Structure 1
């Protein structure tokens, strides 16, 4: 699609690797996860579990066939009961979660009656678009919704047997399969669950989504609020008001952040000359770029690149 805003939102993340595991639980069990720099997936194969956060929000119930997606790895507890108080730290259950590896985890006591698949998809946190962080901390797709999405449901149903294989290429297959589940889950939420957050509404809004594609894909163009409003097919005032209400900041600020995130990626690439970066991301002068970068990251572009070099 020419204006696929979800693809443009996810493109800078550069999904790179995965750790996945198969969990078996029984009796009274609970696991306390920590904040993680990755997208996390929980797919319930049998029985149920309850997801809780470190606040006063009620626990989220997951039944067999449900999928929970944590887009940016928000810390949470998952347990066999909604009132679990003695959850084990995740690091004590899984002391090492090496990207590219997998594990089988048993918690609680025999007999085990609960089974789920979990995956951590690693991405470049420095390239995380501001709107991505505004997505709901957890997106739950119920079994009946998944059944209505044949590609997503079929991929999930095949994962349990596929990740048990040790044949050549199995690691890459697992990464691509979980990556597909992640993207398809976000697409389903975008199409069916926009009431969950203003960010999903922004991605679904015809005019705002068109402007977001322009910002994410063509950030180097000399956009103004007026030209972005024309791209959205809206008046300047209506565009600015709607953009701020749904996205959470102004169009100009969103464009600046996108450009500076790309600048950090280019600074990490030693083959790109420092002096070439401003023009590549849409700045007309080196001074303007330098000031904007320092204001955003409290360091200069040169110092940022120098800090990345091995000593």
Structure 2
């Protein structure tokens, strides 16, 4: 692989990482939540399958549990601890690490977003209570950087306590009965969305302080490219221009970007533009004719074709569909 990136000072890199991590958090929007409260006494074990376009959260209210899977050795959670699986990796929860479990779908069938459930397992051993949730997000928000996050992210009780808003939100959600009043499900959705962002924030600060934990942060050129794409997507970028912007040759930039981010630079740029276009069409009253220029397209026809290819529908149909659903 060719070498060609310019040297960045440590102060420059540390200044860029917060911007990069902020851009990772900004587009996260939950589309639905299935939440459940677990009342379990040992012996117990439950196997959770991998979830697509869904983050999974477990918060221990009382007692504790072991978690196995997600590409790491078994680890123990105690009361007040929180674990987040950003991309819904398969894992097992149990009272001991080597106990075989029953499938989650057997004890909580369906699990449709917007509903709640409960698990009760009566045993003679230690009692535990957990708040668990499947947080379904818009696939367009799952950037390459988000997908590159570790399979499991853990905040122990002292770390949660240092985030009072996160701690209080989790306790409130854990104590709340199944919502059934007007607007309750929307409030629950937004509360879990806030909990997700509040949980990711300290975890991402840890990653920024320890770039080795997230290889993309270790590479100054690719790290900067992600910031550029996230914040300056409306500019008329070409592959050569992006490579020059970060001080790398085209071939080295393309290879390193694909290796660290998991997709080519052009696709990552398109994803960011489509993400912003969808936001403008759903969250603003900006005229549809003004959207292409706001997301880096000089041609309305080119934008229309790109949008249809990405979402499987036209910009107008997309806006009308969201308005109809609302």
Task: Work out whether the TM-score is over 0.5.
Answer: yes
Partner residue, 1:235: 247
Partner residue, 1:31: 46
Secondary structure of the residue aligned to 1:16 is strand
Q: In 2, distance between residues paired with 1:263 and 1:167?
A: 34
Partner residue, 1:94: 108
* CA drift at 1:10: 4.0
Q: In 2, distance between residues paired with 1:129 and 1:15?
A: 14
Quote the RMSD (CA, aligned, Å). 4.3
Partner residue, 2:31: 16
Q: Which has the higher contact order (CA 8 A, sep 6+)?
A: 2
1:41-100 deviation line (CA, Å, top 9, x unaligned): 000112221212276x42122122110001111121111110012x11111100121222
CA contact (8 A) 1:4 1:213 kept: yes
TM-score (norm 2): 0.71
Q: In 2, distance between residues paired with 1:281 and 1:261?
A: 9
CA contact (8 A) 1:26 1:109 kept: yes
1:250-292 deviation line (CA, Å, top 9, x unaligned): 6445324434666789999xxx999998766434568977998
Q: Which moved more, 1:237-246 or 1:154-163?
A: 237-246
* CA drift at 1:6: 3.8
Q: In 2, distance between residues paired with 1:290 and 1:158?
A: 44
Query: How many matched pairs?
Result: 299
Unaligned segments of structure 2, at least 5 residues: 1-17, 322-326
Q: In 1, distance between residues paired with 2:179 and 2:312?
A: 48
Indicate how the Cα distance of structure 1 residues 285 and 164 shifts in structure 2: closer, same or farther if over 3 A, else same.
closer
TM-score (norm 1): 0.74
Q: In 2, distance between residues paired with 1:286 and 1:167?
A: 44
Partner residue, 2:58: 42
* CA drift at 1:229: 6.8
CA contact (8 A) 1:290 1:301 kept: no
Secondary structure of the residue aligned to 2:30 is coil
